[in-house]
Amino acid sequence: MSSRSSKNVVGVFSQVGSAPRFYWLMAAMVPASFAGSTIGSIKVVLAAQVGGTSTVGTAALVSTVTGCIAGLLAGRVVDRVRANVVLACAMAGFTLSYLSLAYLVAHNSVTDTWVIFFSALDGAILTFSYLSTIKLEAALVRPDARGAAESISSIRGSVGGLLGALLAGSIVLIVDRVIFCAVLTGITFALVLVIPRGAMGRSTAKKQKKGSVAVMLGALKSNPSFRTVVIANLTLYLVVPSTLLSLSVVREGLLGIQGVLVGAAIVGVMIGRLTLAVRGTRGAVSRDLTLATLLYALLAAMAAVGMVGNWLFGQTALLALLVMLGSACGSFIQAMLAAKFQEQVPDSVRGQASGVMYAAVAVQLALGIVVATSVVSAWSTLAYSVLLACLLLFAVVFLQGFRQVK
C-alpha cells in the first residue's frame, strides 16, 4: 500500500469540503456502529453457548442470506423514499430487536433458534441501514466527492467498531451490554431524524419501471469501468472470509481471548481504512490492491505454519498481530473497491444498483461462510488458513493484478 505526502491526508476530507450535513450523519452513525460491533461479539458468545461452531456458522449464513433477499427490496425503497426516513426506521428496528434479545437473555431463554432468528432479523435491518446510509452520503456531498465520502464513512465505522469491542469487555453482564446497545441505536435514531434537510430529495428512479436487476445490468453494460469494479468486488468478497475469526475462536477454544482478537481485528480495519484515507482513491490503484492482496496471502501462510501443533494459539500477542495485519489488508482492499463503486454507480439508480450489489455480495459471502464453516468444523483453522492463502493468490491471477480497476 503506497503512501503519499501528508497533504493527501487532508485531501480525502478536502474533497468532501464544507458539508455539515454529511459530517452530522457521520457523527450520528457512530453510536450505531458501536452497538453493531458489540452485538456481533455477543451473538458469537451466545451461539457458542447454545450450539457451538455449527450455530456460529449457521447464524452468520442466515444473516447473509437474509441480507441478500432484503437487498433487492431495500434498493428500490431507498430510491423512492427519503433516505433519512428509511435510516431512522432501520435504527428503530435495531432498537426493538436488541430490547427483545435483552429480554430473552435476562430470562435465560436464548436457544439456537432464537440466535438464528435475531441474526436473520438484524441482517435484513442492516441492509436497509447500509443502503440508506450510502444514499444519504451521496446526496450530502458533491458528485466528485462520493468516493472520498465512502472512505470517511468506512473510518467512522471502524471508530464505532473499536469502541464497541472495548465495551464488550468492560460490561460484565451480557444483558446490560444488549440494553446499552439498544440505547445507542435509539440515540442514532433521534439524531438521524433531525439531520438538516436540503440535499435529500427523492431519486428519479421512481419514474423507472425496470426492476433492480435490470437497472444494474444496464449500468454494467453501459460502463466498462464500473463493470470491472463490480467483478473485482464480488471476487474479493468471495475470497476474504467474514466469519473466520468467529469460527476460529469457537473451534480452537479461544473464547477467553475473544475480546483481544476482536479488538485487534477492528484496529486492523481502522489501519486499513486510514491507509486508504492517506493514499486516496484517485489515480491508478491496481498496484496497491495487488500488494495488499499478496501481503494478506503471506500472512495467512505464516499463520498456517504457526498453527502446526497449535503453537500459535498459545501466543496471544503474535496471534493478535497477525489478525490485525490481515484485517488491515482486507479492509484496505474492500474499502478501496467500495469507494470506486460509489464513484462510478449512476446516481439516479444508486439505491437499486447498490441493493443488487449488496445482494450479490451477500451470495458471495454466503458461499464463503459455507466453505469456511465446513473446513473449520471438519478439519481446523489451519486447513482454512492454507485455503485462504491459495484463494487470495487465485484472486490476483483471476483479476490480472487489478489492472482494469480505474
In this predicted structure, the answer to whether residue 170 has a pLDDT above a threshold of 80 is no
Per-residue pLDDT band at 89 (split at 50, 70, 90):
very high
DSSP letter, residue 317:
H
* Whole-number pLDDT of residue 167: 65
Question: Using 50, 70 and 90 to split pLDDT, how confident is the model at 7?
Answer: very low
Distance of CA 336 to the CA centre of its chain: 13
Whether 107 is covered by a domain: the verdict is: yes
Asked, for residue 84, whether it belongs to a domain, the answer is yes
The confidence band for 165, taking pLDDT boundaries of 50, 70 and 90, is low
273 residue type, one letter: R
Residue 6 belongs to some domain of the structure: no
> Is the model's pLDDT at 3 over the cut of 50?
no
Residue 201 has pLDDT above 50, yes or no: no
Task: Please report whether residue 170 resides in a domain.
Answer: yes
Q: Tell me, what CATH number does 33's domain have?
A: 1.20.1250.20
What is the pLDDT at residue 17? Answer: 67
Residue 349 has which C-alpha cell?
439508480
pLDDT at 205: 46
Q: Is residue 346 part of a domain?
A: yes
Contact 167, 180 (CB under 8 A): yes
How many percent of the chain have pLDDT more than 70?
Answer: 84
| Cα distances (Å, whole numbers) of residue 275 to 286, 292, 294 | 15, 11, 17
pLDDT band at 186; cut points 50, 70, 90: very high
Q: How confident is the model at residue 166 (pLDDT cuts 50, 70, 90)?
A: low
On the question of pLDDT at 371 being above 60, the answer is yes
Q: How far are the Cα atoms of 74, 215, 244 from residue 357, in angstroms, in the given order?
A: 11, 11, 23
Give the whole-number percent of the chain exceeding pLDDT 90: 11
User: How far is Cα 333 from Cα 49, in angstroms, rounded to an integer?
Assistant: 33
pLDDT of residue 94: 94
**Cα(152)–Cα(163) distance, rounded to whole angstroms?**
17
How confident is the prediction for the chain on average, in pLDDT? 79
Provide the number of structural domains found in the chain. Answer: 1
Q: How confident is the model at residue 269 (pLDDT cuts 50, 70, 90)?
A: confident
Query: Can you give the residue range of the structural domain that contains 95?
Result: 20-200+211-402
Least confident range of 133-137, 247-251, 371-375: 247-251
Of 30-39, 160-169, 247-256, give the lowest mean pLDDT range.
Answer: 160-169
Considering 19-33, 138-152, 230-244, the range whose residues carry the highest mean pLDDT is: 19-33
Tell me, yes or no, whether 356 lies in a domain. Answer: yes
- Any domain includes 384: yes
Residue 15 lies in a domain: no
Question: How many angstroms separate the CA atoms of 250 and 60, rounded?
Answer: 14
